[in-house]
A and B are shown apart, each in its own frame.
Chain A
Amino acid sequence: METATYQRFPKVKIRELKDDYVKFELKQTDASMANALRRVMIAEVPTIAIDLVEIEVNSSVLNDEFIAHRLGLIPLTSERAMSMRFSRDCDACDGDGQCEFCSVEFHLRAKCIGDQTLDVTSKDLYSSDHTVVPVDFSDSGAGFENAEDQRGITIVKLRKGQELRLRAIARKGIGKDHAKWSPAATVTFMYEPEIHINEEMMETLSLEEKTSVVESSPTKVFALNPHTQQVEVVDPEAYTYDDEVLKKVEAMGKPGLIEIYAKEDSFIFTVESTGAIKASQLVINAIDVLKQKLDAVRLLEDTVEADDQFGELGAHMRGG
Chain B
Amino acid sequence: MTPSLPKLVKVGPPEFLHVLLDGRVIGAMPTDRIEKTVSHLRTLKLSAASMIPEDLEVGYVPISMGGAFPGLYLFTNPARFVRPVRQKFAPPKENNNIELIGPFEQVYMEIECPDGGSGGRLKEFPATHEEIHPTGILSVVGNLTPWSDHNQSPRNMYQCQMAKQTMGFSSQGINCRADQKLYHLQTPQTPIVRTATYEKYRIDESPLGTNAIVAVLAYSGQVYDMEDAMVLNKSSVDRGFAHGHIYQTEVIDLADEKLKSDRANKVFRRSTHDKLSHSFIDSDGLPYVGQRIKPGEPYFSTYNEASGVAFNKKLKGSEPVTVDYVAVDVKNKKQLTKANIRLRYGRNPVIGDKFSSRHGQKGVCSQLWPDVDMPFSGVTGMRPDLIINPHAFPSRMTIAMLLESIAAKGGALHGKFVDATPFSSSVKKSDEHEGDPLVNELGSMLTARGFNYHGNEVLYSGVYGTELTCEIFIGPVYYQRLRHMVSDKFQVRATGTVDQVTRQPIKGRKKGGGIRFGEMERDSLLAHGAAYLLHDRLHSSSDHHIADVCSICGSILTTTLIQHQKKVMREIANLPPGRVPKKVKCVACKTSKGMETVDMPYVFRYLAAELAAMNIQVKLQLSNGAAA
Chain A contacts to B: CB under 8 angstroms: 31-32, 34-36, 38-39, 42-43, 55, 58, 61, 63-66, 69, 73, 175-176, 178-180, 182, 186-191, 218-220, 238, 240-244, 262, 270, 272
**8 new A-B pairs (CB below 8 Å) besides A43-B372, A191-B467?**
A31-B465, A64-B290, A65-B346, A182-B371, A186-B382, A220-B450, A240-B458, A242-B457
Closest to A31 in B: B465
Instruction: Find chain B residues with CB under 8 A from A38 CB.
Output: 372, 465
Instruction: Find chain B residues with CB under 8 A from A240 CB.
Output: 378-379, 450, 452, 457-458
Q: Is the Cβ of B450 less than 8 Å from the Cβ of A219?
A: yes
Q: Is the Cβ of B371 less than 8 Å from the Cβ of A241?
A: no
Q: Is the Cβ of B186 less than 8 Å from the Cβ of A35?
A: no
Instruction: Find chain A residues with CB under 8 A from B462 CB.
Output: 35, 39
Q: Is the Cβ of B464 less than 8 Å from the Cβ of A179?
A: no
Q: How far is the CB of B393 from chain A (nearest CB, A)?
A: 22
Most A C-beta atoms less than 10 A away, residue of B381, B382, B451: B381
- B238 CB within 8 Å of chain A: yes
Chain B contacts to A: CB under 8 angstroms: 175, 186, 234-236, 238-240, 243, 245, 290, 322, 324, 344, 346, 370-372, 376-382, 446-447, 450-453, 456-458, 460, 462-467, 471
Q: Is the Cβ of B452 less than 8 Å from the Cβ of A244?
A: yes
Instruction: Find chain A residues with CB under 8 A from B322 CB.
Output: 63-65
Q: How far is the CB of B457 from chain A (nearest CB, A)?
A: 8
**Which of A69, A188, A262 touches B381 (beta carbons < 8 Å)?**
A188
State the 8 A-B residue pairs at the shortest beta-carbon distance, nearest first.
Answer: A35-B465, A188-B381, A179-B238, A179-B235, A186-B381, A190-B378, A219-B450, A31-B465
Closest to B175 in A: A61
Bound Cα distance A64, B290 (Å): 7
Known contacts A31-B466, A188-B378, A188-B379; decide if A242 and B452 are in contact (CB<8 Å): yes
User: Interface majority SS on A: helix, strand, loop or mixed?
Assistant: mixed
Bound Cα distance A190, B379 (Å): 7
Bound Cα distance A191, B460 (Å): 10
Q: Is the Cβ of B235 less than 8 Å from the Cβ of A69?
A: no
Q: Is the Cβ of A34 less than 8 Å from the Cβ of B465?
A: yes
**Which of A180, A188, A243 touches B377 (beta carbons < 8 Å)?**
A188
Q: Is the Cβ of A69 less than 8 Å from the Cβ of B240?
A: yes
Instruction: Find chain B residues with CB under 8 A from A178 CB.
Output: 238
Instruction: Find chain B residues with CB under 8 A from A243 CB.
Output: 471
Q: How far is the CB of B549 from chain A (nearest CB, A)?
A: 55
Q: Is the Cβ of A43 less than 8 Å from the Cβ of B370?
A: yes
Known contacts A31-B464, A58-B290; decide if A242 and B186 are in contact (CB<8 Å): no
Q: How far is the CB of B189 from chain A (nearest CB, A)?
A: 16
Q: Is the Cβ of A241 less than 8 Å from the Cβ of B378?
A: yes
Bound Cα distance A272, B239 (Å): 17
Q: How far is the CB of B460 from chain A (nearest CB, A)?
A: 8
Q: How far is the CB of B53 from chain A (nearest CB, A)?
A: 45
**Which of A180, A238, A242 touches B471 (beta carbons < 8 Å)?**
A242
Closest to A244 in B: B452
Bound Cα distance A190, B380 (Å): 10
9 A-B residue contacts at CB 8 Å? A31-B464, A32-B464, A32-B465, A35-B462, A179-B238, A182-B235, A186-B381, A191-B467, A240-B450
Instruction: Find chain A residues with CB under 8 A from B446 CB.
Output: 218
Bound Cα distance A175, B372 (Å): 10
Closest to A43 in B: B372
Instruction: Find chain B residues with CB under 8 A from A65 CB.
Output: 322, 346
Q: How far is the CB of B627 from chain A (nearest CB, A)?
A: 55
Bound Cα distance A186, B371 (Å): 11
Q: Is the Cβ of A66 less than 8 Å from the Cβ of B186?
A: yes
Q: How far is the CB of B438 from chain A (nearest CB, A)?
A: 19
Q: Is the Cβ of B453 less than 8 Å from the Cβ of A218?
A: yes
Closest to B344 in A: A63
Bound Cα distance A182, B238 (Å): 11
Instruction: Find chain B residues with CB under 8 A from A241 CB.
Output: 378, 458, 467
Q: How far is the CB of B21 from chain A (nearest CB, A)?
A: 54
Known contacts A31-B466, A66-B186, A240-B458; decide if A189 and B378 are in contact (CB<8 Å): yes
Known contacts A32-B464, A182-B371, A218-B451; decide if A188 and B238 are in contact (CB<8 Å): no
Closest to A30 in B: B465
Bound Cα distance A220, B466 (Å): 24
Known contacts A179-B371, A219-B450; decide if A69 and B380 are in contact (CB<8 Å): no
**Which of B175, B234, B243, B466 touches A69 (beta carbons < 8 Å)?**
B243
Closest to A217 in B: B450
Most A C-beta atoms less than 10 A away, residue of B186, B236, B344, B460: B460
Bound Cα distance A66, B462 (Å): 30
Bound Cα distance A69, B243 (Å): 10
Bound Cα distance A66, B243 (Å): 9
Q: How far is the CB of A63 from chain B (nearest CB, A)?
A: 7
Known contacts A63-B344, A218-B446; decide if A175 and B458 are in contact (CB<8 Å): no
Instruction: Find chain B residues with CB under 8 A from A73 CB.
Output: 239-240
Instruction: Find chain B residues with CB under 8 A from A42 CB.
Output: 371-372
Most B C-beta atoms less than 10 A away, residue of A35, A66, A178, A182: A35
Instruction: Find chain B residues with CB under 8 A from A35 CB.
Output: 460, 462-465
Instruction: Find chain A residues with CB under 8 A from B453 CB.
Output: 218
Closest to B376 in A: A188
Closest to B377 in A: A188
Q: Is the Cβ of A179 less than 8 Å from the Cβ of B346?
A: no
Instruction: Find chain A residues with CB under 8 A from B456 CB.
Output: 242
Bound Cα distance A39, B462 (Å): 8
Q: Is the Cβ of B465 less than 8 Å from the Cβ of A179?
A: no
Known contacts A39-B372, A188-B378; decide if A218 and B465 are in contact (CB<8 Å): no
Instruction: Find chain A residues with CB under 8 A from B381 CB.
Output: 186-188, 270, 272
Instruction: Find chain A residues with CB under 8 A from B324 CB.
Output: 63
Known contacts A61-B175, A191-B467, A242-B458; decide if A180 and B238 are in contact (CB<8 Å): yes
Q: Is the Cβ of B376 less than 8 Å from the Cβ of A175?
A: no
Q: Is the Cβ of B370 less than 8 Å from the Cβ of A176?
A: yes
Q: How far is the CB of A305 from chain B (nearest CB, A)?
A: 25
